């Protein structure tokens, strides 16, 4: 392949792109913009879940519990109700997502002898109703509420247990039993490797970089169709430039723009979002280049296979964008997908892109650890270009 | 002439269009009577399309007025739209719709329906020679047929005036002639035709012409009038063997005063034209000169001037 | 007027018909998308790989490991322990365990559990032995799930052992595992889950995807139908005809509406049949509101077309717009969890209201009495958006290049 040829085509394609300020804006700044906007909006740690209290007990103790619940970042007590319809309405209107019902007898259970007796064998005098529509936040909210309530009760009992015998109506055996119950069997220390504070933004931003980088791939999916519609395709093909050279030349400016994007997004991730980067910067850029090549290869394939511009755009959108969001591994881990779906994702460079980004930012992996994804991208890129070239010859030349 | 000059369908006064500091159309004034074939002639970029757009109401003028069918297009454009037809330079046709679908769409857009639509549809298919091709898409038709289809779409609703912007660009001469015959048919039915072109030979077909150059109207009148006014006399034409050299020789001679009574000396393809008042005398003069300068030639003759000659003369005068 | 509107609509329908391939791609592609997304996200999170380092090696610790292994969620990776031998320090070993896999055949380990020496003894005597849990933070959903399950199992097992051994009574009255667990169960608070009893994630993502699909089809088709006219120059033709700009908009909206609607119906059926998400509320209301929403979104699509010069540009703009839109719509993350200012801004996005409507009628059974704010917003936004688009139309009458 003649280098000058490739350069000539690349230059022409470059001019096409930069003469259209809109496209340049979208391709060069669009991904960064997307990164900023979406990460800011979506990387939300679950906080301020609207919670409604139905306090049947109305005691100092129950009020205390409510205060503690409200003090948590995760929950936000918005209202108190007096009956069941009260909270059911709120649930229906989405004003509340969690309802904490403190039953009559709550404080009795924690202060009187009979109450204490029953602790060992009966359910606590509080219950919960949760809106399960969004399971992810529901589970977190629930877990928090259950933990806080449980801890509250344990603290109460601990205080009781440590009171001098004279001030409590408890029998020594009771005290003993209580002491036992209060003791957690095991002390579990949990550390989160790579993301110790469980910051959602650390989780999301690297993945979002990969998703945002599919834009060049999508944009390239129309280059051939556009030349076709303008009638310049035949002229291009009549030149002595080889088909592979044409494709490479066309892809070249997109690669450059994409790499520019990578730099910009890296800066944003580090400076604006504070995401740590633990890998090797040079390796990262190299791998990003590979990733972009893979997406461009597929984009080019679409470009050649699909005649009409709209169909090309639509197909590339369905291939890159729709699955990109939910199947990329950004929100739901790919490894738990059904096997068949996993197979489908093999063709999606974005999945590897997400893993590479997460790996380099959070995990500090080296090439060795990413070999599988690298191989995948390499195959996609090389085979993609190869097939694109052959199809180009067959269909057009 | 079929025109009825007391009855102007288009009246343009001082129409001007500026884009920033660039004046595209400079105080153009015209009157076009009903039923006339009016040609707007000029090189590319002279302002023909811009003027036409203003008259159609697609572009607001910077200055001046245009009254079409008695209505000021600045304010009352909508009232007369149904009586106008337009064939634009680029694409009048929907390339993925068939001939019939295209025509039906246009017909309906102008309010034709049922029997009226059907009969007009048949009519257009007939005169455009598209019968049997109803199910083709424009891309499947060759250039000539596509243009006829576009014209058909422009007239299907029996407009009073049709505006054609470079309708024969890129079409072969045979098709072009057929196209013009179509235009004559339409014109004889009373439709006014406003056409822009940069083909001089087409301009000869028009009843009235407007020469436009760099936004200014530099001549109006019938082809004969223009020729008589701006290129009185005739043309001495011959085919030189060495066109460039011979041209230079003649021009030098003219500069030195040896060729009086001549004006423009230009290359026309493989021939040289010399404009003059006294054709015979100059012919002999030139023959002698060429022999003397050893410039071989063939086919020396005197012919009447063409519009192109007129145009070249006029544009030279502008510089 | 109606005649002219229908004329435009018919023409655009013909365009769509002549581009049948595209249409099929659009409708079935979107439906398939929904299928895959729902299926993938609804898949239970299980078989999460964990490595357990047992420094105790007693019957008790082995018992714990057995219990952990028997959960569906966790999968014991026995070879993982060997990895420790290959590294000098624990940090490196953990790094190795948590990275380097591939998601198809050999996913990374999610969790490392270390049982200290003396675990068994300490547990039996109620001395609260410590267990170290290390999670793979790069896979947040998996590690959170793994942690929850592990904590629960450890807690249950620990309680059983501890109670059994600290029980001060006779052999015959010693409580069995079942009894202990049952009692433990009883002391848990009562939890009722409403609207998505199984906490199936697909119940959240499928409607998200369905709403999104309707949105994207509407806005894309509208944008394309108009952008193509502008790009090919036939738009100018339309402006010369005796047709009002508003008639053009409505005429072009109709085919897009039809396609969007057809797709929506398909998606509803799919959700009902495949994901078991029926329409709990009023179907009629849903269909009516869907049509109204479509009109608003179509207006946006037209607006995008009016500011783009080519179809490619239109697509890129829609992409950016789409990302912003679905963020504010609560597609992946509920709006209530977002910063306050974003919650306020989200009202400006039609899709936000549509999402509320769709979820409400699908999952709850809300009626207009609750949804009226959404309706009001949609109407308001619709008037403004379509007004702006009309203004663009009229402006193009006077600003031809």
Tell me the per-residue pLDDT of C108-148, one tens digit each, with 9 for 90 and over. 888 999 999 989 888 888 788 899 999 988 888 888 889 99
**Measured in whole angstroms, how far is the alpha carbon of residue A53 from the centre of its chain?**
31
C176 half-sphere exposure, CB direction, 13 A CA radius: 3
- What single string gives the DSSP state of each residue in C164-199? HHH--S-GGGPPPHHHHHHHHHHTSPEEEEES-TT-
SS3 A153: helix
Whether residue C337 is predicted with pLDDT greater than 50 in this model: the reply is yes
Q: Tell me which chains share at least 3 CB pairs under 8 Å with chain C.
A: A, B
Cα distance between residue A266 and residue C144, in whole Å: 27
| Residues of chain A positioned with their CB less than 8 A from the CB of C336 | 48-50, 94, 97
C73 touches chain A (CB under 8 A): no
Whether residue A168 is predicted with pLDDT greater than 70 in this model: the reply is no
Which residue from A61, A79, A59 is spatially nearest to A70, judged by alpha carbons? A79
Most confident of A212-216, A320-324, B15-19, C105-109: B15-19
Q: How confident is the model at residue A265 (pLDDT cuts 50, 70, 90)?
A: very high
Give the DSSP H/E element, type plus range, for residue A40: helix A30-42
A121 touches chain C (CB under 8 A): yes
How much is the average pLDDT of B234-243? 87
A18 touches chain C (CB under 8 A): no
| Residues of chain B positioned with their CB less than 8 A from the CB of C400 | 53, 58-59
Which residue from A214, A265, A201 is spatially nearest to A43, judged by alpha carbons? A201
Query: Would you call B152 exposed, middle or buried from its count of C-beta atoms within 10 A (0-12, 13-18, 19+)?
Result: buried
Are B58 and C4 an interchain contact pair (Cβ–Cβ within 8 Å)?
Answer: no
C59 half-sphere exposure, CB direction, 13 A CA radius: 2
Considering the segment(s) B8-227 as one domain, its CATH architecture is 3-Layer(aba) Sandwich (3.40)
B84 touches chain C (CB under 8 A): yes
Nearest to C241 among B81, B88, B94 (CB): B81
Distance of residue B60 Cα from the nearest chain C Cα, in angstroms:
6
φ and ψ at B44, to 5 degrees? -60, 140
Largest CA distance in chain B: 76
Task: Please write the tens of the pLDDT for every residue from A186-215.
Answer: 888 888 888 888 787 888 888 888 888 877
Chain C residue with Cα closest to B110: C242
Distance of residue A124 Cα from the nearest chain C Cα, in angstroms:
6
Q: Which of A63-67, A391-395, C288-292, C341-345 has the lowest mean pLDDT?
A: A391-395
Q: How confident is the model at residue B142 (pLDDT cuts 50, 70, 90)?
A: confident
What does the angle CA A267 – CA A24 – CA C297 come to, to the nearest 5 degrees? 100
Task: Please write the tens of the pLDDT for every residue from A297-316.
Answer: 888 887 777 776 666 666 76
Nearest to C240 among B56, B101, B111 (CB): B56
Residue numbers of C between 211 and 270 with CB closer than 8 Å to B: 232-234, 236-243
The mean pLDDT of chain B is 86
C137 touches chain A (CB under 8 A): yes
Are A310 and C311 an interchain contact pair (Cβ–Cβ within 8 Å)?
Answer: yes
Whether residue C350 is predicted with pLDDT greater than 70 in this model: the reply is yes
Task: Please write the tens of the pLDDT for every residue from C24-63.
Answer: 877 887 888 788 878 877 777 788 889 998 988 999 899 9
| Residues of chain B positioned with their CB less than 8 A from the CB of C19 | 96
Cα distance between residue A204 and residue A212, in whole Å: 12
The mean pLDDT of chain C is 84
Are B59 and C400 an interchain contact pair (Cβ–Cβ within 8 Å)?
Answer: yes
Are A133 and C315 an interchain contact pair (Cβ–Cβ within 8 Å)?
Answer: no
Q: Report pLDDT for B1.
A: 40
Strands B71-72 and B63-68: antiparallel
How much is the average pLDDT of A221-246? 76
Are B94 and C15 an interchain contact pair (Cβ–Cβ within 8 Å)?
Answer: yes
Every domain range in chain B assigned CATH 3.30.70.100: 232-317
Q: Report pLDDT for C400.
A: 46
B192 with B160: CB under 8 angstroms?
yes
Which residue from A310, A337, A302, A304 is spatially nearest to A323, judged by alpha carbons? A337
Whether residue C293 is predicted with pLDDT greater than 60 in this model: the reply is yes
Are A123 and C187 an interchain contact pair (Cβ–Cβ within 8 Å)?
Answer: yes
Cα distance between residue A40 and residue A287, in whole Å: 26
Considering the segment(s) B232-317 as one domain, its CATH architecture is 2-Layer Sandwich (3.30)
A328 touches chain C (CB under 8 A): no
Residues in chain A: 397
Whether residue A86 is predicted with pLDDT greater than 70 in this model: the reply is yes
Q: Which of C237, C244, C400 to mutate to test the interface with B (most CBs of B within 10 A)?
A: C237
Q: Which of B74, B78, B94 to mutate to test the interface with C (most CBs of C within 10 A)?
A: B94
Chain C residue with Cα closest to A23: C313
Distance of residue B143 Cα from the nearest chain C Cα, in angstroms:
17
Q: How confident is the model at residue B237 (pLDDT cuts 50, 70, 90)?
A: confident
Q: Report pLDDT for A323.
A: 60
Every domain range in chain B assigned CATH 3.40.50.300: 8-227
Query: Would you call C282 exposed, middle or buried from its count of C-beta atoms within 10 A (0-12, 13-18, 19+)?
Result: middle
- What single string gives the DSSP state of each residue in B229-287? HHS-SEEEEEEESSHHHHHHHHHHHHHTT-STTEEEEEEETTEEEEEES-HHHHHHHHH
Cα distance between residue A364 and residue B55, in whole Å: 69
Query: Would you call C279 exposed, middle or buried from its count of C-beta atoms within 10 A (0-12, 13-18, 19+)?
Result: middle
Strands C111-115 and C130-136: antiparallel
φ and ψ at C380, to 5 degrees? -60, -50
A193 touches chain C (CB under 8 A): yes
Cα distance between residue A306 and residue A220, in whole Å: 12
Cα distance between residue A50 and residue C383, in whole Å: 33
CB proximity list for A117: less than 8 A, separation 6 or greater = A174
Cα distance between residue C78 and residue C64, in whole Å: 15
Cα distance between residue B260 and residue A153, in whole Å: 121
Nearest to C243 among B88, B91, B109 (CB): B109
């Amino acid at each position: 392949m003649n280098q000058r040829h490739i350069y000539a085509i690349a230059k022409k394609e470059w001019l096409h792109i930069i003469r259209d300020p809109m496209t340049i804006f979208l391709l060069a700044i669009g991904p960064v913009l997307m990164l900023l906007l979406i990460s800011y909006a979506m990387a939300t740690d679950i906080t301020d879940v609207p919670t409604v209290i139905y306090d049947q007990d109305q005691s100092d103790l129950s009020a205390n519990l409510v205060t503690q619940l409200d003090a948590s970042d995760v929950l936000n007590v918005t209202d108190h109700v007096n009956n069941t319809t009260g909270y059911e309405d709120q649930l229906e209107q989405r004003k509340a997502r969690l309802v904490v019902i403190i039953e009559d007898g709550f404080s009795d259970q924690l202060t009187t002898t009979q109450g204490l007796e029953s602790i060992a064998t009966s359910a606590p005098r509080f219950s919960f109703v949760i809106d399960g529509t969004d399971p992810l936040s529901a589970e977190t909210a629930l877990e928090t509420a259950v933990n806080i309530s449980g801890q509250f009760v344990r603290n109460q009992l601990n205080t009781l247990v440590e009171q001098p015998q004279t001030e409590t109506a408890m029998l020594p055996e009771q005290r003993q039993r209580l002491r036992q119950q209060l003791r957690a069997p095991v002390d579990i220390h949990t550390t989160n490797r790579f993301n110790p504070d469980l910051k959602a933004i650390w989780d999301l931003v690297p993945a979002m970089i990969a998703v945002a980088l599919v834009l060049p791939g999508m944009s390239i999916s129309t280059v051939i169709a556009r030349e076709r519609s303008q009638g310049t395709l035949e002229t291009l093909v009549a030149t002595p430039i080889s088909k592979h050279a044409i494709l490479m030349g066309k892809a070249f400016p997109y690669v450059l723009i994409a790499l520019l994007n990578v730099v910009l997004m890296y800066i944003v991730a580090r400076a604006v979002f504070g995401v740590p980067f633990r890998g090797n910067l040079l390796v990262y850029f190299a791998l990003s280049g590979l990733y972009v090549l893979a997406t461009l290869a597929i984009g080019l394939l679409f470009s050649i296979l699909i005649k009409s511009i709209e169909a090309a755009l639509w197909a590339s959108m369905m291939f890159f964008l729709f699955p990109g969001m939910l199947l990329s591994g950004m929100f739901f881990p790919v490894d738990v997908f059904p096997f068949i779906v996993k197979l489908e994702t093999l063709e999606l460079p974005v999945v590897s892109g997400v893993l590479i980004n997460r790996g380099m930012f959070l995990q500090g992996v080296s090439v060795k650890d990413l070999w599988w994804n690298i191989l995948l991208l390499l195959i996609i890129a090389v085979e993609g270009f190869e097939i694109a070239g052959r199809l180009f010859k067959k269909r057009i030349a | 002439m079929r025109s009825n000059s007391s009855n102007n369908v288009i009246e343009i006064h001082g129409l001007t269009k500026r884009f920033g500091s660039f004046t595209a159309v400079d105080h153009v004034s015209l009157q076009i009577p009903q039923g006339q074939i009016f040609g707007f002639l000029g090189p590319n970029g002279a302002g023909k399309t811009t003027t036409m757009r203003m008259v159609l109401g697609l572009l607001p003028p910077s200055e001046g007025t245009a009254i079409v069918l008695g209505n000021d297009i600045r304010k009352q454009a909508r009232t007369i739209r149904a009586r106008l037809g337009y064939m634009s330079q680029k694409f009048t046709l929907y390339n993925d719709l068939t001939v019939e679908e295209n025509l039906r769409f246009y017909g309906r857009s102008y309010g034709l329906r049922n029997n009226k639509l059907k009969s007009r549809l048949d009519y257009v298919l007939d005169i455009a020679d598209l019968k049997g091709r109803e199910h083709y898409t424009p891309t499947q038709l060759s250039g000539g047929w596509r243009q006829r289809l576009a014209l058909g779409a422009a007239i299907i609703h029996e407009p009073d005036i049709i505006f054609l912007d470079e309708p024969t660009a890129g079409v072969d001469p045979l098709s072009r002639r057929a196209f013009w015959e179509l235009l004559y048919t339409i014109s004889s039915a009373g439709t006014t035709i406003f056409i822009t072109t940069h083909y001089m030979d087409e301009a000869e077909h028009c009843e009235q012409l407007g020469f436009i150059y760099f936004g200014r109207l530099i001549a109006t009148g019938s082809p004969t009038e223009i020729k008589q006014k701006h290129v009185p006399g005739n043309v001495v034409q011959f085919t030189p063997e060495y066109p460039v050299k011979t041209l230079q020789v003649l021009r030098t001679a003219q500069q030195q005063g040896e060729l009086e009574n001549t004006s423009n000396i230009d290359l026309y393809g493989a021939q040289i034209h010399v404009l003059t008042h006294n054709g015979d005398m100059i012919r002999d003069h030139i023959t002698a000169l060429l022999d003397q300068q050893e410039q071989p030639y063939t086919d020396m003759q005197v012919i009447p001037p063409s519009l192109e000659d007129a145009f070249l003369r006029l544009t030279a005068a502008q510089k | 007027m109606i005649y002219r509107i229908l004329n435009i609509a018919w023409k655009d329908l013909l365009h769509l018909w002549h581009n049948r391939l595209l249409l099929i791609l659009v409708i079935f592609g979107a439906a398939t998308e929904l299928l895959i997304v729902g299926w993938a996200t609804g898949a239970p999170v299980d078989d999460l790989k964990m490595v357990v380092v047992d420094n105790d090696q007693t019957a008790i610790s082995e018992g714990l490991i057995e219990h952990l292994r028997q959960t569906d969620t966790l999968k014991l990776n026995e070879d993982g322990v060997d990895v420790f031998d290959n590294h000098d320090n624990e940090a490196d070993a953990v790094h190795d365990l948590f990275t380097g896999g591939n998601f198809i055949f050999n996913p990374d380990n999610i969790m490392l559990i270390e049982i200290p020496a003396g675990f068994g003894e300490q547990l039996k005597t109620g001395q609260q032995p410590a267990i170290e849990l290390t999670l793979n933070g790069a896979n947040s959903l998996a590690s959170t799930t793994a942690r929850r399950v592990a904590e629960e199992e450890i807690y249950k097992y620990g309680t059983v052992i501890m109670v059994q051994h600290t029980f001060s009574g006779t052999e015959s009255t010693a409580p069995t595992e079942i009894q202990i667990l049952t009692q433990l169960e009883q002391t848990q608070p009562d939890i009722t889950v409403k609207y998505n009893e199984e906490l199936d994630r697909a119940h959240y993502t499928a409607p998200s995807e369905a709403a999104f699909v309707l949105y994207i089809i509407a806005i894309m088709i509208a944008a394309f139908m108009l952008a193509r006219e502008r790009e090919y120059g036939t738009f100018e033709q339309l402006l010369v005809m005796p047709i009002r700009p508003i008639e053009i908009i409505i005429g072009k909206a109709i085919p897009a509406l039809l396609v969007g609607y057809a797709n929506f119906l398909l998606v509803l059926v799919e959700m009902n049949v495949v994901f078991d998400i029926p329409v709990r509320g009023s179907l009629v209301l849903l269909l009516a509101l869907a049509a109204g929403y479509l009109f608003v979104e179509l207006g946006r699509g037209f607006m995008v077309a009016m500011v783009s010069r080519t179809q490619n540009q239109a697509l890129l703009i829609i992409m950016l717009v789409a990302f912003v839109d679905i963020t504010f719509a609560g597609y992946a993350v509920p709006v209530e969890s977002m910063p306050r200012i974003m919650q306020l801004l989200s009202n400006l996005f039609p899709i936000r209201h549509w999402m509320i409507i769709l979820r409400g009628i699908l999952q709850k059974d809300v009626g207009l009495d609750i949804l009226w704010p959404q309706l009001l917003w949609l109407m308001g936004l619709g008037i403004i958006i379509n007004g702006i688009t009309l203004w663009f139309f009229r402006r193009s009458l006077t600003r031809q290049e």
